[in-house]
A = this chain, B = another copy of it.
Amino acid sequence: MPYDPSAFPPFAVTVDLVVLTVRKHALCALVVRRGEPPFEGQWALPGGFVRADEDLEAAAGRELGEETGLRSQEPADDAASVRDPGAHLEQLATYGTPDRDPRMRVVSVAHLVLAPDLPTPTPGGDARGARWASVTSLLASEDQGPEDVEVGPLAFDHDRILADGVERARSKIEYSSLATAFCPPEFTVGELRRVYEAVWGVALDPRNFHRKVTGTPGFLVPTGGTTTRQGGRPAQLFRAGGATLLNPPMLRPEV
């Protein structure tokens, strides 16, 4: 088939963001309220158009900064991760069903962001209404009654994008050190365990968990400090080590 650059069908390309964090022992996602039709007033995932000369990942990072003030840090530049609450960013999947946007043909490249709990309850930036909502309430709203009435079904196909992102996060922390992206720069083993418990929605044995993560070489490096911010006996503080793969993987208990 000969290639005719002037005859390609025109598409709009956007990035949508599944921004996840752990707050109060629950997995939460960032949602924004739409200011214009379609789906005006409804909640949606943050996102926006890719600019004409902008890389996809750069567009996702830009939108992330505009909505939350976060900065993604994929290649961890030296000690930048200490002074700045960075976040993990990766491409999730692309959604391009012809009628997913009633106005025009839009292909959206969704990205997944894992961020530590932010000091600001409501993320700042130029976002109109933005809030954290627990993913259980967001994902349950399709089938069951309105558990959290404030956020109904999300706009467009964002419920599915969110579900895909949550599933990706749940499976990826099994075999990688990605769960540390939910933690502040320095954290305890117990705090890391509560991340796993929140993301998976299960209870883990603290003793076995401790042995597992401290026994994997390169996964955690002790900083020397301790803290009692969780109460009880002082706990050692750790930073994420260089190891990005967790082998053997963390085992997710049966549901």
Q: A-side interface residues toward B, CB under 8 Å?
A: 1-3, 5, 8-13, 36, 48-56, 91, 93-98, 103-105, 107, 109, 126
Alpha-carbon distance A48/B1, docked complex (angstroms)? 9
Alpha-carbon distance A49/B104, docked complex (angstroms)? 17
Give which listed residue, B3, B49, B53, contacts A98 with CB less than 8 A: B53
Whether A36 lies near B94 (C-beta < 8 A) is no
Complex: chain B residue closest to A8, CB-CB: B12
Give which listed residue, B3, B50, B53, contacts A36 with CB less than 8 A: B3
Alpha-carbon distance A55/B11, docked complex (angstroms)? 12
**A64 smallest CB distance to B (angstroms):** 14
Alpha-carbon distance A49/B9, docked complex (angstroms)? 8
Whether A55 lies near B98 (C-beta < 8 A) is yes
Chain B residues positioned under 8 Å from A8 (CB to CB): 12, 49, 104
Whether A13 lies near B50 (C-beta < 8 A) is no
Give which listed residue, B53, B91, B126, contacts A94 with CB less than 8 A: B91
Alpha-carbon distance A104/B10, docked complex (angstroms)? 12
Which of A11, A54, A97 has the most chain B CB atoms inside 10 A of its CB? Answer: A11
Report 23 cross-chain contacts, Cβ distance below 8 Å, ordered by A residue.
A1-B48, A2-B36, A5-B12, A5-B103, A9-B50, A10-B10, A10-B11, A11-B12, A11-B107, A13-B13, A50-B96, A52-B98, A53-B98, A54-B98, A55-B97, A56-B94, A56-B96, A56-B107, A91-B93, A91-B94, A94-B94, A94-B109, A107-B109
Alpha-carbon distance A3/B109, docked complex (angstroms)? 18
Beyond the given A1-B126, A9-B51, A11-B50, could you list 11 further A-B residue pairs with CB under 8 A, ordered by the A residue number? A5-B104, A8-B12, A8-B49, A8-B104, A9-B49, A10-B10, A11-B11, A11-B107, A52-B105, A53-B98, A56-B95
